[in-house]
Amino acid sequence: MIPGELPKLPFIVKPFILYLFLSLSFLAFIYLQTPRHTFKKDPTNHSPDLKIRPGYSSYDVYIERQLNKTLNPKLRQIWTTRDWNRKVEVFSRFFDSLKQRKLLFNGSKALCVGARVGQEVAALKRIGVNDSVGIDLVPYPPLVLKGDFHHQPFDAETFDFEFSNVFDHALYPDKFVGEIERTLKPGGICVLHVALSRRADKYSANDLYSVKPLIELFKQSEVVKVRNVDGFGLDTEVVFRKNKNRNK
């Protein structure tokens, strides 16, 4: 060997290095070509007691899935006829109980979130809470207006009272709660019926295992009452009051 010259690499090394280089470039290429999962899951997914269901690859897929049931003509027929009175009566009893506890008044301006055909709105009107309306992805006038609960179509501080039994349909629970707190007046009441012990239906977007994550989401409110109820498969009623102090 001539001094100063690099030692000759064994003949096998050169093609090996070339091979290594090419494979790494190929892997890097594949990696960069793979679409990243830019559709962000809700940050509250970190709580073990609130899990966002996988499989909603985009917001459109989520909405399409919700609409699939809500728009079903046969079901809409049943909801507005056979089911109507029974559900209005059960909702009326829940709302009457809230009235007795001075959480709801005839003069309350009330919103029902995810009201579908609006049996809960009809119940509020039946017991004298006349200024009541619902929102849902599908409108059912005059009781239910079109609106997404992730982005309520109302100004801040509009309602004295909000009711919902569709928390499990929220793909973004923090937005669902944030919008309720935004549109409630200071001191306003929010009543949620949720399923804790049994799994909600196949159209749900999240599963809730305790009230803890729910209470954490209500950043501008205090818990008034948690109790067991029997409300169409939902077993727990949680009542919140939005703080009167706006800086809190």
Ligand X SMILES: *[C@@H]1O[C@H](CO)[C@@H](O)[C@H](O)[C@H]1NC(C)=O
Residues 207-246 that bind ligand SAM (CB under 6 A): 232
Distance (Å, rounded) from C-alpha 228 to C-alpha 217? 20
User: Closer to ligand X at the Cβ: 72 or 228?
Assistant: 72
Distance (Å, rounded) from C-alpha 213 to C-alpha 228? 17
On the 0-12 / 13-18 / 19+ scale of CB atoms within 10 A, 104 is buried
Give me the sign of the Cα torsion angle 162, 223, 87, 75.
positive
| Minimum distance from residue 88 beta carbon to ligand X (Å) | 14
Distance (Å, rounded) from C-alpha 50 to C-alpha 207? 6
Q: Is 148 in the site for ligand SAM (CB under 6 A)?
A: yes
Q: Which of 75, 80, 96, 137 binds ligand SAM (CB under 6 A)?
A: 137
Q: Which does 128 bind (CB under 5 to 8 A by kind): ligand SAM, ligand X, none?
A: ligand X
- Total H helices, total E strands in the chain: 7, 9
Tokens of 101: 């506890």
Q: How many residues bind ligand X (CB under 6 A)?
A: 7
Q: Which of 26, 64, 89, 186 binds ligand X (CB under 6 A)?
A: 64
Q: Which residue is it, tokens 């119940």?
A: 123
Q: How far apart are the first and last CA of the chain?
A: 81
User: Closer to ligand SAM at the Cβ: 109 or 150?
Assistant: 150
Distance (Å, rounded) from C-alpha 189 to C-alpha 155? 17
| Minimum distance from residue 216 beta carbon to ligand X (Å) | 31
Q: Which of 42, 44, 50, 114 binds ligand SAM (CB under 6 A)?
A: 114
Q: Which of 51, 65, 76, 109 binds ligand X (CB under 6 A)?
A: 65
Give the interface with ligand SAM as residue ranges (CB under 6 A): 66, 70, 114-116, 119-120, 135-138, 148-150, 165-166, 169, 232
* Contact set with ligand X (CB under 6 A): 64-65, 68, 106, 127-128, 130
